[in-house]
Amino acid sequence: MPNTWVLLDNQSTVDVFYNKDLLENIREVTKQMNNHCNAGISTTNLVGDLPGYGTVWFYEEGIANILSLSRVKRDQEVSLNSEKGNCFKVSRKNRSGGTLFFKQAESGLYYTNIRPVTVTNNLALVTTTKEKMEGYTKKKCERAKLAHHIQKTKGRLHTKDFLEIVEKGGILNCLINRIDILAAKDIFGTDIGSIKGKTTRRKVQNTGDNTDIIKHPANVAYKYKNVTICIDLMFVNKIVLLISIS
């Protein structure tokens, strides 16, 4: 079993990982986890943070990275269609996050494959387009590809506008529907060209003329008449920022 596999286990009541490369901020806690299994009892007082999920137990001598189904469904929506795709679909209830698919391996275990990617000393969980497609049937994937292609050829429409056009019959002899458009967004994500074309710098309103000057109390001026101010330059995405502390 690859150490990047994460299993979705309905027989586990705890989340426990053994691959430290998938976790951040591994640390000791005052409590401990006693994991009962056929081989006996394993104990650990270490936890780590799984990016995009939360805190899980860390047991380096384990043999699998396990997410408990009973715990996952507390904050995520979990569904399984054994006939179409045969995989668990896990997505955030507030729709603000991504979707993970736990497909069935030849051994019968349901897993998702996450890879640690180093980005400025942090970890990011990457789900590829191919892995996204595994949650849909072959026919659904073909229709999603067609929807993605049409959206780009129509001028990289926003998904909301694209849905409205299709549902109101704005495209003659259209071979796709709302479900295909939403599937395309889930698989391919937001179109990069659309983001670049519509995310522009906006002019900031000048509020300097509307600033009110409030006279400070005399005791404040007396107490803090000698103030040391330290300043420095910090760069974020090649944008220079002035930071200061007094």
Domain count, the chain: 2
Tell me the Ramachandran region of residue 226: left when phi exceeds 0, alpha when psi lies from -120 to 50, beta otherwise: beta
Q: Are residues 90 and 167 in the same domain?
A: no
Determine the 3-state secondary structure of 166 from DSSP: helix
Residue 231: the pLDDT is: 94
Q: Are residues 14 and 111 in the same domain?
A: yes
Q: Are residues 77 and 51 in the same domain?
A: yes
Looking up tokens 């976790």 gives: 23
- pLDDT above 50 for 187: yes
Taking the chain, what is the end-to-end CA distance rounded to the nearest angstrom? Answer: 54
Question: What would the mean pLDDT of 129-136 be, rounded to a whole number?
Answer: 70
Tell me whether residue 215 is in a domain. Answer: no
How sure is the predictor about 98, in pLDDT bands with cuts at 50, 70 and 90? Answer: low
- pLDDT above 50 for 206: yes
Q: Are residues 64 and 152 in the same domain?
A: no
Q: Are residues 17 and 105 in the same domain?
A: yes
Instruction: Give the domain extent around 102.
Output: 5-126
Residue 204: the pLDDT is: 67
Mean pLDDT of the chain: 78
Tell me whether residue 100 is in a domain. Answer: yes
Question: What would the mean pLDDT of 112-141 be, rounded to a whole number?
Answer: 64
Query: pLDDT digit string (tens) for 12-59?
Result: 888 888 888 888 888 888 888 877 766 667 788 888 888 777 888 888
Of the candidates 29, 103, 38, 110, which has an alpha carbon nearest to the alpha carbon of residue 67?
110
Residue 245: the pLDDT is: 92
Q: Are residues 48 and 22 in the same domain?
A: yes
Residue 119: the pLDDT is: 40
Tokens coding 216: 């400070």
Q: Are residues 70 and 15 in the same domain?
A: yes
Tell me whether residue 221 is in a domain. Answer: no
Tell me whether residue 235 is in a domain. Answer: no
Residue 133: the pLDDT is: 74
Of the candidates 14, 11, 72, which has an alpha carbon nearest to the alpha carbon of residue 44?
14
Q: Give the pTM.
A: 0.44
Q: Are residues 9 and 122 in the same domain?
A: yes
Tokens coding 151: 């959206």
Q: Are residues 140 and 116 in the same domain?
A: no
Q: Which residue has the higher pLDDT, 146 or 202?
A: 146
Q: Are residues 73 and 180 in the same domain?
A: no
Kind of pairing, strands 65-68 and 5-9? parallel
Tell me whether residue 223 is in a domain. Answer: no
Q: Which residue has the higher pLDDT, 87 or 210?
A: 87
Q: Are residues 143 and 177 in the same domain?
A: yes
Query: pLDDT digit string (tens) for 21-32?
Result: 888 888 888 888
Q: Are residues 150 and 102 in the same domain?
A: no
Tell me whether residue 210 is in a domain. Answer: no
Question: What would the mean pLDDT of 207-214 be, rounded to a whole number?
Answer: 64
Residue 115: the pLDDT is: 66
